[in-house]
Amino acid sequence: MSEQKLGLIGAMSISVGGMIGGGVYAVLGVVVLQAGAASWLAFTGACLISMGASYSYIKLNQISGKKGGSVTQIEAFTGRSTLAGMVGWTLLFGYIGAMAMYAFAFGGFTVELLHSADLLHTDSVFTLPLQPLISVAAIGLFVALVVAGTQVTGWVETALAATKTVIILGFGIWGFAYGFGTFGFEPVAPIQFGLDRLATPVPIVIAIAISFVSFQGWQLLVYDQESIRNPERNVPLAIYASIVITIILDGMIAILVFSYASIDQIVANPEVAVAFAAETFIGPTGFFIIAVSALLSTGSAILGTLFSSAHFAKGMIRAGLLPDRTGNTEVGGAPPRTTIILGALTAVLVVIGGLEGIISFGSLMFMVVFGAMSYLALQQRHRDDINPIPPLVGVVGSFGAFPILIWNMYTNEPAVFGTVVVTAVAVFAVESLYFGRETIWAGVEQSGRTIADFAANRRTDAETTSTEEPSND
């Protein structure tokens, strides 16, 4: 029924909730180490690229007349289901990378929170690092919630999203009030905007590439348009508005973190940099509030992404783009088996990869998909209702950031580079084997028949030769 569908505000809330909080808490420290006080410019750049990609998604939906994301539109415009399937797999692994990033940050904030409350005096359990153990446990909890059903997931997600948004907004206003000495506050530290960093733009560009994974939450609306009233109007408005809101809030937080947190703190624990900044001008209470907010934010991000990616995978199974054994598409809501598989892969990535590697892997996956969709829209620039500039921004930004991020990892983080490359090659190999399975199997059968025929011919020739040999008598 129409009254059960989301309006514009509800759709905006979903999109904002998918971008704000989890990403900035997990990524911010790593971005600040690259761009310093100009981190807000890096987030702004990544958001603008995301805006170009979102415009491409929206226009392709309008032109094709089919509601859906990358898989739907690529198949509609190219007619190549295999290509669409491989893009879908890439996007799915991008979601796994995003969830691993959120889970990693969740574990980091939990450890720091327990340390600050003097409830924890070790960083390991039976020689195993505590942080990844907590991250894996959190993944298991949210897998259980998604398996429990859509209604339970919706209640939890709504509560978490509302709480984290209020805390982040309050942190931003309070921080700037202290920085500028407004509302009767005495300035604690000068607010730094890092405009002088524009003279050396390379670190900012690298930071844009790193932060890419933080700005993919708006895609949730593209995949669930049937639950939104008047999607032709409300989906584009909700996406554009949520990206603008994200630019403002994430930019505020980035400025405050560099202004108030020390570089030593950020280097030591990049995933909890926001909490250190809050402690500087609010005190231990600020650290506690932000740490709790981060747990809510990253938890919300894990839950929402897991729920959405499980539904996305469900559609791919129906289309024959994923093996049938990965989930039952006849069940209502997210298929339990699919959800468990996604959770397990996320847990593996958390265990084998550090924060930088996880972030880079997720960003690379989304760059490929966003770039492909922007290129597809750019090909339709001859249509009167398409402005070529946004898709061009998406193409140049996505495909331009890709080699820059690869180069940065290879040059400065060889271990991370190795992990990401091995993971990406493994993903591509599995994709290629799956979509080429019929051709490969046909080749194997043909080879088997050829070998059998050859063997049979050899036996026939041998028998013929034997019967034709002259007797020695």
Question: Could you read off the pLDDT of 123-159 as tens digits, one per residue?
Answer: 777 777 888 899 999 999 989 988 876 555 556 666 7
Tell me what the mean pLDDT of segment 73-84 comes to: 86
Whether the pLDDT of residue 181 is over 60: the answer is yes
* Phi, then psi, of 66 in degrees rounded to 5: -115, 130
Q: How much is the pLDDT for 1?
A: 38
CB 115 within 8 Å of CB 130:
no
Q: How much is the pLDDT for 390?
A: 93
Rounded to an integer, what is the distance from CA 138 to the centroid of its chain?
17
Whether the pLDDT of residue 175 is over 60: the answer is yes
Residue 88 CA to residue 92 CA, distance in Å, equals 6
Q: Which residue has the higher pLDDT, 344 or 194?
A: 344
Q: How much is the pLDDT for 437?
A: 63
Both tokens assigned to 163: 């709480």
Stretch (H or E) spanning 163: helix 150-180
Q: What is the pTM of this model?
A: 0.81
Q: How much is the pLDDT for 3?
A: 43
Residue 97 CA to residue 362 CA, distance in Å, equals 5
CB 185 within 8 Å of CB 178:
yes
CB 303 within 8 Å of CB 146:
yes
Tell me what the mean pLDDT of segment 79-108 comes to: 88
Stretch (H or E) spanning 437: helix 437-468
Domain 2-451 belongs in CATH node 3.40.50.12660: no
Q: Which has the closest alpha carbon to 277: 130, 432, 172, 373?
A: 172
Whether the pLDDT of residue 2 is over 50: the answer is no
Tell me what the mean pLDDT of segment 234-244 comes to: 89
Q: Which has the closest alpha carbon to 131: 355, 417, 415?
A: 355
Q: Which residue has the higher pLDDT, 406 or 18?
A: 406
pLDDT in tens, 317-331: 888 888 888 878 777
Q: Cβ–Cβ contacts within 10 Å for residue 51, how many?
A: 21
User: What mean pLDDT value characterizes the chain?
Assistant: 81
Q: Cβ–Cβ contacts within 10 Å for residue 172, how many?
A: 18
Tell me what the mean pLDDT of segment 348-376 comes to: 87
